[in-house]
Amino acid sequence: MVALTLPRNGGGLESYSIRNAPLPMPAPGSAPAFNRPPFNRIAYAAAHVVADPLADNDPWLDAAVDWDRTIAFRHYLWDLGLGVAEAMDTAQRGMGLDWPTAKALIGRALAGAKERPGAVIACGAGTDHLPPGPGVTIADVIAAYEQQIEAVEGLGGRVILMASRALAAVARGPDDYVRVYGRILSQVKQPVILHWLGEMFDPALAGYWGDADHDRAMDTCLAVIRDSAAKVDGIKISLLSKEKEIAMRRRLPAGVRMYTGDDFNYAELIAGDEQGYSDALLGIFDAIAPAASAGLARLTAGDEAGFHEILAPTVPLSRHIFKAPTRFYKTGVVFLAYLNGLQDHFLMIGGQQSTRSLPHLAELFRLADAARVLRDPELAAQRMRKVLAVGGVE
């Protein structure tokens, strides 16, 4: 039995023993065949980036990426039958990953996907190279979107149309959103995935679609989708409300998918109900990729109970990782990758490893054990001890 000393939530220390065997990983060479859909749901994992710990830079100012480990992580996700949502907020877009580095990341990831016929990947295009400000106009926002979309499409990528901080700052109401999205969707080469990221993930996006009320904002968003349905594959909403997602899902035009971005309620939303289900585009699937793959395989086989048996224990872990301030969830995602040996350090671009406390990370460790997503318990404990030692817990 693997044991270690962990901080308690209320203060002090306790002895903790890992209680659960990890979920089995697929045998080498048994990756799902991408010439046919591996699952009966489309499932993207929004993937994180691995920082270069040996770069001589100023981490708060400069993004230094370990490209080999970053792209290897994408292959790990593809090995499990998951698609990759590239250069999204999980990759610290807007929180350390600037557009030039994101563009380089997209190019490298698309090149990696080409090595694997049928590998699924879609890439974030937004306006993050355009800082919001008093001089920014709607025309500037449109031009910024066009620049990034052209870059992604020029590299052969499929677009996830990310929400725009600049648009949220300059828009005077719903009509400005209709104008911008109508113009952009009229130009894209293939159907895109829209991304409605709630203010709990990014406070700068409060009032998106021209209204602080999510229900009225949804009306505007749905009008945009209906006007350009042929150019919209689906929409990912990240509002952390299953009720709002289900309500919107039931109003989407035929053929337009709902991609859940609800890291609190994803299991029941993916399972669905008598009126439909959500596909997935989730940051938590980066952290729990083996469980996501195993659960989706059960669902595809018609075993919904088995799907919930695997995924239900991951939900408390996800809710902890994504707890408020939700934008700091990337720290938990990267920490779990470190515990699982998918990278050799717990450092992040932008110095973002500092956004969560030792007690938070200790609780994450316990919940990851309960969810059976610690791939090698002894390695995970060894690495947890190292992090604790830096914080003075020996």
What are the tens digits of pLDDT across the range 69-93? Answer: 999 999 999 999 999 999 999 999 9
Spatial contact of 286 and 48, defined as CB atoms under 8 Å apart: yes
Using CA atoms, how far apart are residues 346 and 331, in angstroms rounded to an integer? 9
pLDDT of residue 27 exceeding 90: no
Q: In the prediction, which pLDDT does 64 show? A: 95
**What is the percent of the chain where pLDDT is above 70?**
97
CB count within 10 Å of CB 66 equals 21
pLDDT of residue 51 exceeding 60: yes
pLDDT of residue 32 exceeding 90: no
Using CA atoms, how far apart are residues 377 and 380, in angstroms rounded to an integer? 5
**Mean pLDDT taken over the chain:** 95
Reduced 3-state DSSP string for the chain: CCEEEEECCCCCEEEEECCCCCCCCCCCCCCCCCCCCCCCCCEEEECCCCECCCCCCCCCCCCCECHHHHHHHHHHHHHCCCEEEECCHHHCECCCECHHHHHHHHHHHHHHHHCCCCCCEEEEECCCCCCCCCCCCHHHHHHHHHHHHHHHHHCCCCEEECCCHHHHHHCCCHHHHHHHHHHHHCCCCCCEEEEEECCCCCHHHCCHHHCCCHHHHHHHHHHHHHHCHHHEEEEEEECCCHHHHHHHHCCCCCCCEEEECCCCCHHHHHHCECCECCEEEECHHHHCHHHHHHHHHHHHCCCHHHHHHHHCCHHHHHHHHCCCCHHHHHHHHHHHHHHCCCCCCCCCHHHHHHHCCHHHHHHHHHHHHHCCCCCCHHHHHHHHHHHHHHCCCC
Q: In the prediction, which pLDDT does 35 show? A: 42
Using CA atoms, how far apart are residues 80 and 94, in angstroms rounded to an integer? 28
Q: In the prediction, which pLDDT does 38 show? A: 81
Q: What is the mean pLDDT of residues 193-219?
A: 97
